[in-house]
Structure 1
Amino acid sequence: MKVSPILAVSLVTTLVRFSSAASIPTWRTSEAVNWEQSKSRKETKWCDDVLGCLVLNDDWYWAGRPFNVLPDPRSEINTRFLLHTREDNGENKDTFITADQATIDASTFDPSKPIKFIIHGFIDTGFSNWLMDMTRSLLNYGDYNVIRVDWGGGSLPMYYSAAANSRVVGLEVAYLVNFFIDIYGVDPANIHLLGHSLGSHASGYAGEKITGLGRITGLDPAGPYFTNAPSFIRIDNTDAIFVDIIHTDASSILSLGYGTEQAMGNVDFYPNSGHDQPGCSPIAIAIELITDLIDGIRDLVACSHQRAIFLFTDSLKEPCPYLARECIDYASFEMGRCATCGDDNSQCARMGIRADEYTHKDRVNVKMYLDTDGVPPYCYFHYQVVVDTAYPRNAEQWVKGNLRLWLYGDNGKFIEDVKLTKEHERFDHGQPKHFMMKSHTDLSRVFRLEVKWTYDASLLEPGSYCWLFFCNKSLYLQSIKISPMDYYPEENRLDHETTLCNAGKVTEIKSRHTKVLISDSVCVYTP
């Protein structure tokens, strides 16, 4: 569900931005900013004595960016940095820091520890609830310096103005990071910028000014004004040693989103196709509006856009691996066609905090897919299921119906009554058929499988229906292979893969009947 920009701005500005007194920005008298008109009619400059200059010229004008303005004065954007560490002893306080040694020395900042910057986007502030939650989760996960970036003075409407202001935020972040490097000897490889929406592009602008920056995570980078833009306008893989992107509200020809479908990092993750996310339907949002007005309004405006934030935060809390697969497209992934990580493990990566464990950081724009739930915990375990049918002489060439599975793992866990197929699923006897199943339960290695077949042809396809008494409605199986897809590396996945059958014999399942298959060394799988 998408809301008009005017309504979105009104709702969020009124009910989200001013939901906390701490979120109201401090406005100061505008300081002197040098504006220079160049010889080119369109080229202008924004300059600051500390941060330097930003140029707006013909390179910034293109079809996807109809309005271009220079940023607001630095004092109005009012970028501020709030430090949190484990040494704060859990105190819920805001420690403001600047590029000033006395201020930093008086704080709990430790230059020997990794540094995480969290940068919000359009309309948000550094005091929005999600930044606080992510900060706490990061500190529970690791011993970091976590710095919340507040640029609430520049993130308000209009959008084209906020997009311009994000360039200044990038300069501010880069200035502080380079101060850490120069004064405290901080290793830039230990610095990680996490930006949501416009904050993703602000992170990219910062990365351009920081030599050797370790990592940037783009949380659903803003699409309007940035999709298909030149790389210097948007976040891209050259802005850090490793850039990972999570797309949750991608805009494409067929859908309108606040994010982008364009791959912009080393690895780009597309949970649930990267478009409309589960749990973001109008009905689900209506329920949330009743139970939590502020978060309900936020979801009404940008539920899928916000989901990237929650998925990353969930990866800090949830032991589920969030392992994604490279695939030609999401449809192929959903068909169970992309189970392997490849011999070199280059076709798998973990989405979220552990994305930087990816072993092939020299690759660019690698598209990875996975599915998530619509409510926490979001992470699913994925299973490839390959149904290898047999074709005995008495079988029909093909039948239509559905399969339901009961699966039992060697770790004592089980998954009951899973509908594997869609309605009127066609099985061609003698041919394997791939599926992808998901669950919150990790079965380790499946050793027992109960399979129920229900013949259910489509009346809209008369040729598929058994009108005569002697028509054979049975499904014939040679075996079913179950591959838990979330075991990594590839050797580990293969160790948990199992093929189940009936002592190597062809198994006939009559309509509305159930048969038991077990893991057996005599099973033979023929792809």
Structure 2
Amino acid sequence: MTAKCKTVGSFLFSFSLLLFFRRSYCSLIQDYDKCTLWLKTDGSSCQASTYFSIQNWALSFVPSFSSRKVCCKDGTGCFSIDKDTPYECYNDLPSCMDVVKPKFYFYTPERNQDVQMIDYFNLEDSVEQLEVAQPSKPFFAIVHGFGSDWPKPWMFNMKDKLNDLDNNVLIVRWTEGAKDPWYFKASANTRTVGAALARVVNALNAAGKISISTSTIVGFSLGGQIAGHAGSNIPKLARIIALDPAGPNFQCMHPKARLDSTDAIFVQAIHTHGEYFVFGGCGTLQQFGDMDVYMNGGVTQPGCGRGLSQALTEFISFMVEAMSCSHNRVPKLFTEMVANAKNPENSCNFTAFPCTSTEEWLSGNCFQCPESGCPSVGYLAGTNNVGKFYVNTLGDNTTSGGYCGRQYLLSLITDKFVKGRIVVELKNQTFEAKPIMLQDTNDVIIANSEKSIVATVPYHMTEIVEVELIYNRHQATTGGGPPSFKILSLSVQSVDGRRVTNTTGVTIKDSETKRIMLPKNE
């Protein structure tokens, strides 16, 4: 999707919303386990209209599409949306190569500022003429998402960092097929672009310019779905890294019609904007890969608005920014992951924790590493890491040098039921972290029960010696927060399991700030 994900708002008030309900019913399903179970028991995903009566209503307004095949002469194979096929849930047939007009820019570490163009329509000769000093070096293809703006600076920033690590890089441009506001047409076009990319990669491999066994496709948003379509046509492709793969029009589709773990030997999906579509979400929380990574829980990112639900009361410009901020965070995160991989021993490497759900992670219930240790995600992710993983980051990359931070588990036990806003700051002897929300105004702490969150501070803060708390009770005649409460225990645990605890029984009052010193490491 574009840098602004700028047409999501218009979908909510246009005929495109009806198209969405016609085919992509599952974008409103909140139970992704139910979605997965349903797909295991039924091969298609359009027959579950009973889930939402609104879909049946929408169907009466939306015309059906003719059953036919297109693009059979483009070297990509034929495409259809025939009933009872994996692709029946697409809203439209894809455009062909003469319309999409993909462009392929090849860069080597030795010539990282000199582009070599690959002509899709004269592929064999074009590939043969490529000058690749070391074909054995790892190869990365970068694919953008929705939107016709060009150039896309994030792609070239990512390319430079990958070249710095001695990788050959291909930038894939398909802006003619990704024009806004036609998101559903662009969704359909992921099939043709994916097939075209597969043809290019296979040609590069056949000509000895790259090796598929060391090749990775990195796709952002709709580009993540393109990576899936490409990978399914590249035998033994090593890796796919999908950056917040597009959710609208893809959630709960047949695995052959979207990104899936079978599309490469190792498929990693990094989720940043799994907010529901009706609230402006551009990604998904559905598992698409072998390793699915949920940054900050995967719904929204720190420093970004909640989404449309929050933005409706603001100006249109803020709505666009709030809806796109979390989605557009992921190319920056992955570029930082690549940059930090140049010196992994002395850099922050986005340590991730296995966990079963976003709710469990946000509740602080998954801050334990397996015996093999917690993995890094992104560029350094090992292929033996399978399942759902979670990592928290900082909210901006300006003051600390990056989004990657040092993660701590902060736990609090109180002597009574507490309802109200509690903000904490973790401090070391020199630096002071930004405020971190332990709980909001309507949240509660149960008496004598532990309340935990994962708090992220700048990476250089290696030892926490003090915690500052600010309490503002919930103001209500009945059911409000107490005027004061006693902190029975406050502890801070690092990734390596070291834990420091204060049990002195400090009392904090409404609107009061308390500073609690922590002992040395236990």
TM-score by length of 2: 0.72
1:305 paired with 2:327, answer yes
The letter for the 2-side match of 1:445 is E
**Structure 2 Cα separation of the partners of residues 510 and 368 of structure 1:** 32
**Partner of 1:165 in structure 2?**
189
Give the secondary structure class of the aligned counterpart of 2:177.
coil
CA contact (8 A) 1:451 1:514 kept: yes
The letter for the 1-side match of 2:490 is I
1:314 paired with 2:336, answer yes
CA contact (8 A) 1:272 1:372 kept: no
C-alpha displacement of 1:437: 2.1
Give the secondary structure class of the aligned counterpart of 1:475.
strand
Change in 2 beyond 3 A, CA 1:334/1:442: farther
Give the secondary structure class of the aligned counterpart of 1:342.
coil
Q: 2:72 aligns with which of 11, 23, 47?
A: 47
**Partner of 1:340 in structure 2?**
368
Change in 2 beyond 3 A, CA 1:188/1:518: same
**Partner of 1:480 in structure 2?**
490
C-alpha displacement of 1:475: 1.3
Give the secondary structure class of the aligned counterpart of 1:58.
coil
**Partner of 1:268 in structure 2?**
292
1:325 paired with 2:348, answer no
TM-score by length of 1: 0.72
CA contact (8 A) 1:387 1:432 kept: yes
Q: Deviations over 1:96-141 (max 9, x none)?
A: 025436754552453111111011222236732222222123223x
RMSD after superposition: 4.0
**Partner of 1:187 in structure 2?**
211
**Partner of 1:4 in structure 2?**
10
CA contact (8 A) 1:429 1:476 kept: no
1:498 paired with 2:499, answer yes
Task: Report how many residues are paired.
Answer: 448
Structure 2: segments with no counterpart, 5+ residues: 1-5, 15-65, 341-346
1:449 paired with 2:466, answer yes
Q: Deviations over 1:444-501 (max 9, x none)?
A: 233x3355576847443368646xxxxxx55153x4331124xxxxxxx12xx22233
1:87 paired with 2:120, answer no
Matches within 5 A, 1:105-504: 105-108=129-132, 110-124=134-148, 127-140=151-164, 142-156=165-179, 158-184=182-208, 186-250=210-274, 252=276, 255-277=279-301, 278-280=303-305, 299=321, 302-317=324-339, 319-345=347-373, 348-354=374-380, 356-357=381-382, 359-360=384-385, 363-364=386-387, 366-374=388-396, 376=398, 377-388=402-413, 398=417, 407-409=426-428, 413=431, 415=433, 420-423=438-441, 430-446=448-464, 448-450=465-467, 456=473, 458-461=475-478, 465=482, 473=484, 475-477=486-488, 479-485=489-495, 493-494=496-497, 497-501=498-502
The letter for the 2-side match of 1:156 is K
Give the secondary structure class of the aligned counterpart of 2:256.
coil
Q: 2:101 aligns with which of 52, 63, 78?
A: 78
Structure 1: segments with no counterpart, 5+ residues: 9-40, 291-295, 392-396, 467-472, 486-492
C-alpha displacement of 1:150: 1.7
Q: Deviations over 1:77-99 (max 9, x none)?
A: 222211112212x53x4320254
CA contact (8 A) 1:267 1:367 kept: yes
Larger Rg: 1
Change in 2 beyond 3 A, CA 1:105/1:124: same
Q: Which moved more, 1:118-127 or 1:414-423?
A: 414-423
**Structure 2 Cα separation of the partners of residues 476 and 162 of structure 1:** 54
Change in 2 beyond 3 A, CA 1:237/1:427: closer
**Structure 2 Cα separation of the partners of residues 168 and 436 of structure 1:** 42
